[in-house]
Amino acid sequence: MKKALAVVALTLCSALSIANAQTLKVGTEATFAPFEFTDEKSNIIGFDVDVIKAIGQEVGLDVEVVNQPFDALIPGVLTSQLDAAIAGITITEERAKQVSFSDPYYKAGIDAIVRKADAQKYPTLDSLKKSRLCAQIGTTGADVANKISGNVGTYNTVVEAFMELKNKGCEAVLNDRPVNLYFLQTKNEKDFYEIPELYNGEEYGIVVSKQNKDVLEKINSGLKKIRENGTLAKIHEKWFNTKE
Ligand code: GLN
């Protein structure tokens, strides 16, 4: 009898906790490997996906990751269609006027990829100042391209920007260095060359609405925990083969 009661109580408890578990709807843009991309079964995977799920697990939030265009992520958070966004989003002053950022979770920066045949022609970022450049729309890569030459074609995804470079529609793609490197390594792209110069250092943060202080606090406390307990380093090692 006692046992039966305990089972009932346990079942009730878990049913209640499921009902109470808050689901965090998190937007991303899944063409930005290794941070977010899709596997052969169309599951969204990557560094960012592992980070936000590990944070959710620490603070008791279920996480649902949804795919959206990059330039729809901040508007999605502003209109409460998304609770948060994680997509290799650089913390910038401009964006921080509109939304809150979590503590930084990854150090990146912008650099350029050119066609290998042009490696001598474009030894530095400055040598691109009269060139047509390509970038993903709404990104810090596009901002840098505008500063370098002001002659910029923007695309919905960085994959399309790389295609345009290949087709000689532009002379260089300006984009986040870790994504550029991953692209060169995994796609075995012998036709491309990375100019060995970082335009600037940037840091990624998770975007939350300024109204949603509770979620921001939870995300920051989860992030702190996964940094301290080594989970973040493990995720880093999984996707980059290095601890940091
Ligand atoms: N880090 C860049 C930015 O925030 C690019 C992000 C992306 O394309 N997913 O603008």
Query: In this structure, what CATH number is given to the domain that contains residue 176?
Result: 3.40.190.10
Is residue 140 in contact with ligand 1, taking CB distance under 6 Å?
yes
pLDDT for 188 equals: 72
pLDDT for 17 equals: 41
Residue with tokens 């295609």: 163
Is there a contact between 38 and 45 (Cβ–Cβ < 8 Å)? yes
Nearest ligand 1 atom, CA 158: 8
Same domain, 117 and 101: no
Same domain, 192 and 212: no
Closest C-alpha residue for ligand 1 atom 8: 139
Residues of the chain predicted below pLDDT 70: 1-21, 243-244
Nearest ligand 1 atom, CA 32: 9
Same domain, 214 and 101: yes
Percent of the chain with pLDDT over 70: 90
Q: Give me the DSSP letters along 84-123.
A: EE-SS-B--HHHHTTSEE-S--EEEEEEEEEEGGGTTT--
Same domain, 33 and 153: no
Say what the pTM is.
0.90
> 3-state DSSP helix/strand/coil percent for the chain, to nearest 5?
45, 25, 35
Same domain, 78 and 138: no
The alpha carbon of 140 and the centre of ligand 1 are apart by a number of angstroms equal to 6
Same domain, 132 and 112: yes
Quick one: which of 137, 133, 86, 139 has its CA closest to 109?
139
Same domain, 46 and 83: yes
Q: Is the dihedral of CA 194, 35, 89, 138 positive or negative?
A: positive
Is residue 90 in contact with ligand 1, taking CB distance under 6 Å?
yes
Nearest ligand 1 atom, CA 175: 5
pLDDT for 14 equals: 45
What digits encode the pLDDT tens for the residues 179-211? 999 999 888 778 899 999 999 999 999 999 999
Q: Which domain holds residue 26?
A: 2-105+205-240
Same domain, 178 and 233: no
Q: Give the mean pLDDT of the chain.
A: 92
Same domain, 6 and 101: yes
pLDDT for 21 equals: 60
Same domain, 75 and 164: no
CA distance 183 to 30: 14
pLDDT for 5 equals: 54
pLDDT for 83 equals: 97
Same domain, 135 and 157: yes
pLDDT for 3 equals: 54
Structurally, how many domains does the chain consist of?
2
